[in-house]
């Protein structure tokens, strides 16, 4: 059974990553046909970095992803702190409501936000309301649940007596919050921020419904490229984006593993202290 699970896991991983490998190989192909590898070359990457259309759009995507992840991290952390302080029933209800955007189809979220912005534009008598602001608000909206779900477990793992101990030792409420609570949940905050950044960077469905012609992101523009034969420089762009997101996810996993190791060490030290005290 163990061997079957291992083989099945390998097959699933191959199914997931073979398309990425094909794109990466195609990005180094001197020919136009991805099915025929002519010779190895870096010309596709050189052509990409000389492109005057794709690079500004990539910068737009990075700006939106960076700003939305920052705002979503701040708001999501505050929301997680508020939810954690609720009673059990209200907390369960609020977390259930928080999970709805994660299970909701992205196209439903995109259309709903587009209708909301259109309604606001009509009320404010603004003809072209869609643009950078609506795109940023939409990205913050769908990133919030990821931050909340990253911070909440850290709040549950935190010893509730730590803050009270800090207050007894002379800390002000703000110092206790900053030096104890924030310190304990920092791994969750960082993980949520990284997750929000990656989700925002490659989002297409929701962005397609809320963007305006004055501010276009890279995934939306790439959709227009798919209506005609893709140029090899697009393969190079896909490869770089995949590598960047892979690095971010690896860093997030390493951070979580380090936090888990620190928690295990703290628990061992606590148990040893109790044995010595006994």
What are the tens digits of pLDDT across the range 140-150? 999 999 999 99
pLDDT at residue 247 greater than cutoff 80: yes
Instruction: Give how many domains the chain has, as a whole number.
Output: 2
Q: Pick from 70, 69, 95, 100: which is nearest to 82 by CA?
A: 95
Residue 176 domain-assigned (yes or no): yes
Share of the chain above pLDDT 70, in %: 93
139 and 9 share a domain? no
Average pLDDT of the segment spanning 162-167: 78
Report the 10 Å Cβ neighbour count for 71: 18
The percent of residues above 90 in pLDDT, for the chain, comes to 22
Are 211 and 217 in contact, with CB atoms under 8 Å apart? yes
Domain containing 26 equals: 1-41
Question: What would the mean pLDDT of 101-128 be, rounded to a whole number?
Answer: 88
pLDDT at 145: 92
Same domain, 10 and 141: no
Q: Is residue 274 part of a domain?
A: no
Q: Are residues 107 and 163 in the same domain?
A: yes
Residue 221 domain flag:
yes
What is the distance between the alpha carbons of residues 157 and 246, in angstroms, rounded to a whole number? 28
Does residue 150 share a domain with residue 261?
yes
C-alpha to C-alpha distance for 204 and 221, rounded to whole angstroms: 9
Q: Identify the pLDDT of residue 25.
A: 85
Contact call for residues 143 and 196 (beta carbons, < 8 A): yes
Do both 142 and 191 map to the same domain? yes
| 259 and 172 assigned to the same domain | yes
Assess whether 92 and 197 both reside in one domain: yes
Q: What is the rounded CA–CA span in Å between residue 76 and residue 149? A: 9
Cα(139)–Cα(270) distance, integer angstroms? 42
CATH number of the domain to which 75 belongs? 1.10.3720.10
Q: What are 29's strand-pairing partners?
A: 40
What lies within 8 Å, CB to CB, of 218 at 6+ separation is: 54, 57, 58, 60, 61, 237
Judge whether 46 lies within some domain.
no
Q: What are phi and psi of 212, to 5 degrees?
A: -120, 160
């Amino acid at each position: 059974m163990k061997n079957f699970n291992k083989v099945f896991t390998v097959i699933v991983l191959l199914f997931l990553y073979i398309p990425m490998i094909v794109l990466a190989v195609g990005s180094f192909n001197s020919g136009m046909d991805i099915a025929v590898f002519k010779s190895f070359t870096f010309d596709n990457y050189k052509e990409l970095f000389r492109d005057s259309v794709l690079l500004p759009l990539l910068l737009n995507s990075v700006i939106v992803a960076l700003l939305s992840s920052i705002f979503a991290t701040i708001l999501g952390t505050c929301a997680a702190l508020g939810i954690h302080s609720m009673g059990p029933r209200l907390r369960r209800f609020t977390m259930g409501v928080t999970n709805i955007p994660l299970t909701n189809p992205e196209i439903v979220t995109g259309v709903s936000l587009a209708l909301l912005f259109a309604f606001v534009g009509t009320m404010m008598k603004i003809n072209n309301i869609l643009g950078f602001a609506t795109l940023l608000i939409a990205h913050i909206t769908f990133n919030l649940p990821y931050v909340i779900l990253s911070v909440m477990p850290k709040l549950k793992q935190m010893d509730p007596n730590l803050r009270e101990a800090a207050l007894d030792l002379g800390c002000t409420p703000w110092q206790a919050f900053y030096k104890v609570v924030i310190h304990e949940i920092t791994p969750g905050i960082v993980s949520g921020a990284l997750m929000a950044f990656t989700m925002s960077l490659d989002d297409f469905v929701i962005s397609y419904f809320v963007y305006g012609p004055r501010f276009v992101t890279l995934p939306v523009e790439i959709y227009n490229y798919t209506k005609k034969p893709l140029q090899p420089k697009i393969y190079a762009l896909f490869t770089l984006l995949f590598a960047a997101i892979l690095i971010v996810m690896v860093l997030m996993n390493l951070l979580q593993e380090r936090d888990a190791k620190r928690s295990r060490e703290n628990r061992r030290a606590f148990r040893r202290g109790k044995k010595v005290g006994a």
